[in-house]
């Protein structure tokens, strides 16, 4: 089977990272050939995959999703990407197209129509319902009215960008409804978006990582260590983590480490300065340095207010041998056993951390699902097979 995976870009959020991991796993399966068609910004640091065919974007990687799609959804950029993908497809002759991320559904459908092959589209989040997390900070996902959606965009964007965002999001939803099949990364995500989708929807959780033994066997820090790793934002629960960390530092002999970047980086700097020697801000860390910090920590905390679909930070933590605890929002109850979950509030986080350090033997690194790479790749191939069979039946 020949699979053409189309992705918006190689590096921006967890969705892009999950796509690269899945493409790598798929390429290792027997009788499967993969090509990845994507874009790269000039400062992209992710190592190119052997089967990657990327289009260079002559600007630095955007920091916000609104900036990302202002760039990639520009008519000139979208046309270049579509023509690039068409050329790759002509040379490759795929049997199926996998639209990996939001905007990639456009070139995917254009190619699929010309080649008369099916399209499977992957939803890693709720972008087909909203381009911002603001509506979902209460933990539920719902369909907004036109006016409510526009009002949310106007909180952070200029009016013309808010209207463009509204039009882009709703136009892409129409494209998704022309695909043969949709994949979501959790049952929660499926239940949240199915009401606006016409194609059949399957669940495929993000695949785990097969880290080298040298990365998973790092000696734990001598001091009890709590790590927050992720985007520094309200949606990810960073402010409430800091409140919980304040309580812990007053009560117990622990170290608090913070790794990530985002709008609230100033808060992280200030917290580390106010608790010098006990709190440490590392900024955004790449691969080996990040894996080392996670593996050396005793506990990672994931206090998201917005309903996480299937966060890689939790999966990576457990795969690196470090216990992860998380809020009970979104797809997180599917990833972790119940006793590893908490209500996203400072006192609840503090209590769960204390429980862990009082009886760490009761909280070994654990996931509630089998996310081994080959298992996930075989599930994906099964979906492809069903989609191809349905296409043949409908055309006969």
Band (64; pLDDT cuts 50, 70, 90): confident
Express each pLDDT in 335-378 by its tens digit. Answer: 999 999 999 999 999 999 999 999 999 999 999 999 999 999 99
- Give me the pLDDT at residue 286, please: 86
CATH 1.10.287.70 is held by the domain 213-362: no
Token pair 């590893």 is found at: 340
- Give me the pLDDT at residue 396, please: 65
Q: Are 131 and 165 in contact (CB under 8 A)?
A: yes
The predicted model gives 238-248 an average pLDDT of: 98
How far apart, in whole angstroms, are the C-alpha atoms of residue 15 and residue 10? 9
pLDDT at 313 over 90: yes
Residue 303's alpha-carbon distances to 108, 126, 363, 368, in angstroms, are: 35, 19, 17, 18
- Give me the pLDDT at residue 335, please: 97
Express each pLDDT in 117-161 by its tens digit. Answer: 999 999 999 999 999 888 999 999 999 999 999 999 999 889 998
Segments of the chain assigned to CATH 3.40.50.2000: 2-206+372-395, 213-362
Length of the chain, please?
396
How far apart, in whole angstroms, are the C-alpha atoms of residue 113 and residue 110? 5
Express each pLDDT in 157-183 by its tens digit. Answer: 899 989 999 999 999 999 999 999 999
Band (65; pLDDT cuts 50, 70, 90): confident
Residue 249's alpha-carbon distances to 52, 144, 229, in angstroms, are: 46, 41, 18
Average per-residue pLDDT for the chain: 94
Cα pseudo-dihedral 114, 118, 119, 120, rounded to 10? -170
pLDDT at 216 over 80: no
Share of the chain above pLDDT 90, in %: 89
pLDDT at 237 over 80: yes
- Give me the pLDDT at residue 214, please: 66
The predicted model gives 26-54 an average pLDDT of: 95
- Give me the pLDDT at residue 343, please: 97
How far apart, in whole angstroms, are the C-alpha atoms of residue 234 and residue 296? 26
| Of residues 218, 216, 213, 191, the one with CA closest to residue 202 | 191
- Give me the pLDDT at residue 210, please: 86
pLDDT at 23 over 80: yes
- Give me the pLDDT at residue 353, please: 98
How far apart, in whole angstroms, are the C-alpha atoms of residue 307 and residue 134? 11
CATH number of 2-206+372-395: 3.40.50.2000
**What is this structure's pTM?**
0.93
Token pair, residue 61, equals: 């990687």
pLDDT at 70 over 90: no
Q: Each residue of 110-127: b (16+ CB within 10 Å) or e? A: bbbeebebbbbbbbbbbb
């Amino acid at each position: 089977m020949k699979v053409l995976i189309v992705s918006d870009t190689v590096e921006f959020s967890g969705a892009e990272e999950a796509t690269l991991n899945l493409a790598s796993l798929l390429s290792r399966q027997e009788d499967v050939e993969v090509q990845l068609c994507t874009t790269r910004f000039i400062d992209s640091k992710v190592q190119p995959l052997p089967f990657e065919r990327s289009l260079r974007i002559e600007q630095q990687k955007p920091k916000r999703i609104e900036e990302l799609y202002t760039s990639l959804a520009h008519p000139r950029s979208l046309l270049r990407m579509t023509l690039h993908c068409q050329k790759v497809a002509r040379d490759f002759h795929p049997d199926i197209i996998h639209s990996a991320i939001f905007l990639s559904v456009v070139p995917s459908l254009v190619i699929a129509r010309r080649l008369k092959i099916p399209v499977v589209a992957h939803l890693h989040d709720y972008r087909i319902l909203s381009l911002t997390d603001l509506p979902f900070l209460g933990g539920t996902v719902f369909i907004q009215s036109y006016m409510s959606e526009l009002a949310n965009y106007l909180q952070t964007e200029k009016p013309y960008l808010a209207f463009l965002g509204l039009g882009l999001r709703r136009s892409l939803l129409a494209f998704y409804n022309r695909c043969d099949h949709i994949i979501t990364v959790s049952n929660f995500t499926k239940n949240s978006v199915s009401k606006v989708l016409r194609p059949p929807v399957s669940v495929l959780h993000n695949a785990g990582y097969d880290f080298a033994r040298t990365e998973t066997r790092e000696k734990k820090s001598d001091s009890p260590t709590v790590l927050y790793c992720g985007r520094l934002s309200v949606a990810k629960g960073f402010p409430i983590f800091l409140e919980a960390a304040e309580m812990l530092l007053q009560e117990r002999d622990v170290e608090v480490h913070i790794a990530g970047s985002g709008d609230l980086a100033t808060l992280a700097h200030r917290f580390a300065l106010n608790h010098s020697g006990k709190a440490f801000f590392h900024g955004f860390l790449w691969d080996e340095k990040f894996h080392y910090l996670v593996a050396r920590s005793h506990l990672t905390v994931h206090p998201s207010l917005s309903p996480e679909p299937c966060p890689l930070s939790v999966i990576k933590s457990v795969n690196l041998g470090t216990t992860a605890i998380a809020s009970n929002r979104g797809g997180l109850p599917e990833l972790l056993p119940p006793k590893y979950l908490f209500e996203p509030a400072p006192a609840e986080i503090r209590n769960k951390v204390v429980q862990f350090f009082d009886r760490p033997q009761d909280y070994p690194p654990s996931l509630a699902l089998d996310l081994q790479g080959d298992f996930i790749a075989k599930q994906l191939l099964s979906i492809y097979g069903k989609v191809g069979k349905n296409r043949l039946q409908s055309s006969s």
